[in-house]
A and B are shown apart, each in its own frame.
Chain A
């Protein structure tokens, strides 16, 4: 009996102590948690940026800030035979055209999937999403052989056409999710007022869907920009390489040591614009990614 009383009294005291400490912890802990998450996400990226700004001779310093800030790595990226400027252009052409083509094709399909009633709709959607499951490599080998036969090696279309296969399901899925969120009544009202379905689509749906299409375009562009295995395989001439491939193939002076400083600088050049776009449109991108599900 006394034992129980004593333990319960002790527990109460402990609870009181914990309560006070708990209140303080409750104020601080969220910030600690947030801090941990932010550090986890940003520290490696920070290391890339800082390494890019070191002088080549300080490359292996592990100080948190560069001892001497320098742009030498950045000038090295564009100097010599790296061909990085051309690689950036290639990346823009490939990712840009892939995005544009998938949007044009995807908008129609997504409209049909979101707005029209027809048999096997879920099956069609399932098939389109199912194609994202196919491993890129099983697509690449026959296409590689085909492109060799028809002389498409080292061309833009050899990079764009396979990329469509990756980008299209994602685009359709995201756009379908966006189109579904639009009110159906507006379109019906326009058709009652004498618009054809096509006119209702052009005049009502397209303007309303513009933000969603824009978000999809960003997400698709990032996915296409990040593409690696196709660009690596169907191109063997330096002038046609995309930026990601070109950076991974930078060679040092001796050919044995990797020019990490140059690679980090090139990495910064390739990622910082993307990161900036992502930060500016973060709300929309998060909305798009969570509406479409995953990827």
Chain B
């Protein structure tokens, strides 16, 4: 930032041109104090409601509670520190199968739904971009799946996927979609993709509309076909918007709960995700084990998003950085002008 101050009281490292160095310094420390004052409520709330629980959850995962017998046969009650026992229990013994199943489901849902959503969303965006008539209607209908609460859309699809429901009537087959099987996975994927891909379409459309028309004109003059234009121009130019959208969708699917829980049910092997297991454990008051599952999920999400940002360069706050840069340039230009005017 242009206005770096070494320590309180010292002069700014780069005094602004234009002479009056006392005024900017006061302004800078004032705006820093103001910023701290304005930021603190949000940081406090997030610290209490998000930060503290994550740490407390990790602590919780090292404890267990309930009745056990100690070595002498006495009943021990309350919380006991068990170290990593909750974790080893997850990775070995009976629970291991359940865990790897849920881990596999979570990963499977993430890969399949995000891929489908991206493909369908980009296709929708291209259609919307291309057919500008009726765009208002499309924009309105695209927002409908987004506005429906996920739990309600779970019920809606449960109804459609009933044994004698609309979907089976349409395909003229008797498939038990909401029983516990591979069909249930498909049902969850279909419902999830329905709800979120229009939304990706909307965001990609916004990205598409930023691309200047003459880029395509130039490409057409140079003899690029529609397919080439898509791969060489459209995709690279919407990539930043698309990457952020995909990252956020991935994070959402990794912690999916409402949809499979309502559509298929909790404790169903075929659709159980890590969040669902953790919720089920907490509901049965096995907080330690629930917290261990939640911590594993947390680490998994952190690793995935780190890799995503590192490997693909998704830039979540890039927008902000650009604006700061622009502002700086503008400011520099303005002070330069006033400097010239006063001289």
Contacts and interface: CB of A to CB of B under 8 A. Distances in A.
B124 A37 contact: yes
B331 to A, nearest CB: 9
A135 B298 contact: yes
Nearest to B198: A41
A267 B151 CA distance: 10
B113 interface: no
A151 interface: no
A51 B297 contact: no
B152 A270 contact: yes
A132 B282 CA distance: 22
Given A141-B291, A197-B34, A47 B159 contact: yes
Q: Is the interface of B mostly helix, strand, loop or mixed?
A: helix
A34 B151 contact: no
Contact of A132 (B3, B32, B54, B251): B251
A267 to B, nearest CB: 5
Contact of B320 (A44, A45, A112, A122): A122
B60 A129 contact: no
Interface stretch (B87-95, B138-146, B179-187, B216-224): B138-146
A31 B132 CA distance: 10
Interface string A130-149: 01111111111111111000
B279 A142 contact: no
B22 interface: no
B169 A141 contact: no
B41 interface: yes
A129 B248 CA distance: 11
A161 B244 CA distance: 28
Nearest to A198: B34
Interface string B42-54: 1101100111111
Interface stretch (A8-16, A80-88, A168-176, A202-210): A168-176
Contacts of B56: 142, 146
A109 B28 CA distance: 18
Contacts of B122: none
Contacts of A293: 203, 241, 244-245, 248, 316, 319
Contact of B327 (A112, A164, A184): A184
B151 A134 contact: no
A144 B282 contact: yes
Contacts of B32: 116, 118-119
A177 B56 CA distance: 33
A225 interface: yes
B105 interface: no
A31 B131 contact: yes
Contacts of B160: 44, 47
Interface string B144-156: 1111111111111
A222 interface: yes
B166 to A, nearest CB: 6
A78 interface: no
A168 B140 CA distance: 26
A105 B116 CA distance: 37
Interface of A: 29-31, 33-34, 36-38, 40-42, 44-45, 47-48, 51, 60, 62, 105-106, 108-109, 111-113, 116-119, 121-122, 124-129, 131-146, 161-162, 164-165, 168-169, 172, 176-177, 180, 184, 197, 222, 225-226, 228-229, 233, 244-245, 247-248, 258, 260, 263-264, 267, 270-271, 274-275, 278-279, 282, 285-286, 289-290, 293-295
Given A105-B41, A131-B51, A229-B258, 14 more contacts: A34-B138, A37-B127, A41-B198, A47-B166, A126-B316, A132-B251, A133-B301, A137-B278, A161-B49, A165-B50, A225-B149, A228-B257, A247-B155, A275-B147
12 contacts: A30-B133, A34-B128, A44-B157, A45-B156, A112-B38, A118-B31, A129-B317, A133-B302, A141-B278, A142-B60, A248-B262, A294-B248
Which 6 residue pairs spanning A and B have beta carbons closest together? A30-B131, A165-B49, A290-B206, A142-B56, A138-B294, A135-B255
